Amino acid sequence: MANFRKNHTKSSKAESSGLITKVGMFAVLMGIIFWGFQKFMGGDANQQQGEALKADVENLEETSKDSIFYLPTNPTGAIVQHKYYALSYVEKYELPEWCAYELTADRLNKKWVQRTNDFRPDPKVETGSATLDDYRRSRYDRGHIVPAADMAFSEEAMSETFFMSNISPQESGFNKGVWRELEELTRDWAKRFKHLYVVTGPVLSQPIKFWIGESQVAVAPSYYKVLLDLSEPELKAIGFIIPNQTSTEPLSGYAVSVDEVEALTGIDFFQNLMEPNLEKKLEANFDVKLWPTNEKKFQRRVQEWNFQ
């Protein structure tokens, strides 16, 4: 693991230095560093600093070929790090309380690989993850937390999404309806904004709806998704909390602040990503108008997807 430190001479630079604080997702680290570089640096002296920073980043790339993650804090589960995402697995529920990853336009614009459907236990879960048998003869879908389509840029990345540690029991109308719509819109936003940091998972702080399989996998009452746009001149964030059931409501009605998701789940999403004042501002505020939805997708969900 590597740590970066930057010395800034101006007050705005000093304020931004807290943005990179601890070991985290390598690509997110690169994006935030260069976002800060573009926003705060200028002039010949700073250009030299920028060149030195660029060299440091290249050196880190050479010494860290695997993905490194900035993780949410306050985990109650065991941290599992795969190459393209990380998760916190809670044995009591046989579910992840969160999965964290980056979503970029560059990856989404690559030719998609064929869906693998190679569901299998996660060998990195020391206590043993849920199994495919747990879902047989249940009425619940094997719902992805990290969507397979988000990782369709490579066979390896796609295959990682079929570890059972990334799967959860979802109502069919939810999985194929409102959750699908949110997943598709998240990819649309990533293409538009270029670089998103995504944390998503089931809400395990509410009463569990049901338990399935020999492993006793929990059926969560609702799911959340937290999005942080890393590429805008002004960073922005938004959260969603959606019941695990068929919905005919617009997605905008499920939008909340990141603070509200944190209060519900007990998870701190951005503490390892930025200095406290910026974190507080981003988590307290959201504007649904900055995250445009798609009326055609909504109508397809209500008229078609909910009944598949």
Active-site residue set: 144
CA angle at 26 for the pair 24 and 28, rounded to the nearest 5°: 80
Residue 196: CB atoms within 10 Å: 25
Helix, strand, or coil (residue 195):
strand
Task: Render 4-68 in DSSP notation, one character per residue.
Answer: ------SHHHHHHGGGS-S---HHHHHHHHHHHHHHH--SHHHHHHHHHHHHHHHHHHHH--S--
Helices (H) and strands (E) in the chain, counts: 10, 11
**Residue 277, burial from CB neighbour count under 10 angstroms (0-12, 13-18, 19+):** exposed
Contacts of 308 (CB under 8 A, 6+ apart): 172, 176
Give Rg (Cα) of the chain. Answer: 20
- In angstroms, rounded to a whole number, what is the distance separating the alpha carbons of residues 293 and 289? 9
| Amino acid letter for position 124 | K
> Which tokens belong to 105?
């336009």
| DSSP line for 159-190 | HHTTBGGGEEEE-HHIIIIIHHHHHHHHHHHH
CA distance 91 to 96: 9
